[in-house]
Amino acid sequence: MKKGFIVAFLAFSMAAMAQTVTPLSVELSSFNLDSLRTLYITEPAMYRASLEVLEQSVNRDMAAVTKAKKELKDEQAHAKELANALKAAEKMVAKLKSLYGQEEKELKSMQKTVEKQQKAVGKYKELNQETREGYQDFLRAQDKGLSYSLRDIADRQRAIADLEASVQKGQTRLQTFQQEIAQKAADLNVFDTRLKTRMTTLKNEQKAAKKMQ
């Protein structure tokens, strides 16, 4: 029964396991050099100052993306660990199903042997009562023990079936988790590329602005 309890506990743990990616909260600041250039076309100093403010904004966005990348890295590592855990659980389920099936087969075989022995003892008419009853008590005890063992293994088989269902649910949840991770990685890649382009454009604009009178 102890094994059955452990398997049932694992099944409950798998069922309770929910995985979700932390939503991407990065929002890129507005970036419009044409508007700034038009606004401060006659005020070079103000234009250069506005470019510095814009650079600070881009740097903050880049810092936010860097933080989100670290978060994503941990989520990716966790997804790998979870995949390994589910794979190990799947192997354990297969092993236990085979083990319990074989145990059940052996117990039923032994039970049939006991039944044959119980029928056979009735044919021995010349056995004295003490011998007959002693042997019958022995066979009844065996039968009782085997029946208990079969009930126990039935409980364990139900528990392992629950665990198998939970592992399957866990694999489905893992797939969703991995899809969320992939989408987050793609979004961060877009943000990262956009910010690098913005910074390059901004640096070139700042160089040009320094030449303005």
Contact, 79 vs 177, CB < 8 A? yes
Query: Closest by alpha carbon to 65, among 199, 192, 194?
Result: 192
Range 63-66 contact pairs with CB under 8 angstroms and sequence separation of 24 or more:
64/25, 64/26, 65/26, 65/188, 65/191, 65/192, 65/195
Higher confidence at residue 17 or residue 159?
Answer: 159
Task: Concatenate the DSSP letters of all residues of 5-68 into one string.
Answer: HHHHHHHHHHHH----PPP----PPP--HHHHHHHTTT-HHHHHHHHHHHHHHHHHHHHHHHHH
- Tens digits of residue pLDDT in 92-149: 999 999 999 999 999 999 999 999 998 888 787 788 888 888 989 999 999 999 999 9
Highest mean pLDDT among 6-15, 47-56, 204-213: 47-56
Cα–Cα nearest to 22, from 75, 73, 61, 62: 75
The DSSP result for 80-122, as a single string, is HHHHHHHHHHHHHHHHHHHHHHHHHHHHHHHHHHHHHHHHHHT
Nearest Cα neighbor of 161 from 76, 101, 206 is 101
The stretch 25-50 carries a mean pLDDT of 89
Measure the CA–CA gap between 147 and 106, rounded to whole angstroms.
Answer: 12
Confidence band, pLDDT 50/70/90 cuts, at residue 51: very high
Q: Tens digits of per-residue pLDDT, 66-78? A: 999 999 999 999 9
Contact present, 82 and 177 (Cβ < 8 Å) = yes
Whether residue 2 is predicted with pLDDT greater than 80 in this model: the reply is: no
- Predicted TM-score (pTM) of this structure: 0.76
> Is pLDDT at 12 greater than 70 in this prediction?
no
Query: In the prediction, which pLDDT does 5 show?
Result: 47
Structure confidence at residue 16 as a pLDDT band (50, 70, 90): low
Nearest partner of 114 among 71, 149, 144, 82, judged by Cα: 144
Whether the per-residue pLDDT at 3 is higher than 90: the answer is no
1 band by pLDDT with thresholds 50, 70 and 90? very low
**Residues 144, 149: Cα–Cα separation, whole Å:** 9
Please write the tens of the pLDDT for every residue from 154-206: 999 998 998 898 888 889 989 999 999 999 999 999 999 999 999 999 999 99
